[in-house]
Homo-oligomer: A and B are copies of this chain.
Amino acid sequence: MSRAEVVESADAAVAGVEDGATVLVGGFGLAGMPFDLIEALIRQGAKDLTIVSNNAGNGEVGLAALLAAGRVRKVVCSFPRQADSWVFDRLYRSGEIELELVPQGNLAERMRAAGAGIGAFYCPTAIGTPLAEGREEREIDGRRYLLEYPIRGDYALIGAYRADTLGNLTYRRTARNFGPVMATAAATTVVQVDQIVEAGQLDPEAVVTPSIYVDRIVQVQTRRHTVQGAR
């Protein structure tokens, strides 16, 4: 049933992603980005995707490669404009890709809401700004709030550090970022990790993503990239 499956390859991990799917992609810049899963998704061929991620790709790798391959119809993100986001910039300026800009905290909280069964929530972020347009406003205890709705994914592709065979996850440092939230918000959560260990090998007090949120795990030789001063 829901129990996580350890698969042999990144290609097996992304099997079944349909054209038009909404895919949550982990990472803040390149930290935590699931490079191998994205490359497998490019090989897999699904197109017309909606990608939910904090950024819109750096350089030519990861999310930028998926965008360059023409598979993405729309990006939902908080910070597309970076020094090395030339792939997205070109597609955006030529009208080949749609952008929904969401403040970073709303991006995280709206995915949390999806995972937590919250129908909508009132948040003060963006009050009085252009990003409040089209949103319902309400005053509570003298403060103004906007109504925000959940963001759900058909798939989440995330990177973590260690998994046990049941699917419990730990992360490394700030590469944790969106992984734990996205894992709760997708119908199918796919994780690439550096290492898979036996159940019982992770400290139960230090598990960050409990196994219930994980569907497929693949162990890879994770490559790590830095972006110097990019944002």
- Interface of A toward B, CB cutoff 8 Å: 109, 113, 116-124, 138, 140-141, 143, 145, 149, 170-173, 203-206, 208
Give the number of times this chain occurs in the complex, counting copies: 2
Chain B positions within 8 Å of A205 at CB level: 170-173, 206, 208
**Least CB distance, A172 to chain B, in whole angstroms:** 8
Chain B positions within 8 Å of A119 at CB level: 121-124, 138, 140-141, 143, 145
**Least CB distance, A121 to chain B, in whole angstroms:** 4
Chain B positions within 8 Å of A120 at CB level: 121-122, 138, 140, 145
Q: Does B121 contact A122, Cβ atoms closer than 8 Å?
A: yes
Q: Identify 19 new A-B residue pairs, CB closer than 8 A, beyond the known A119-B124, A119-B143, A171-B205.
A: A109-B116, A113-B121, A118-B121, A119-B121, A119-B123, A119-B138, A119-B140, A119-B145, A120-B138, A120-B140, A121-B121, A140-B149, A170-B205, A172-B205, A173-B204, A173-B205, A205-B206, A205-B208, A206-B206
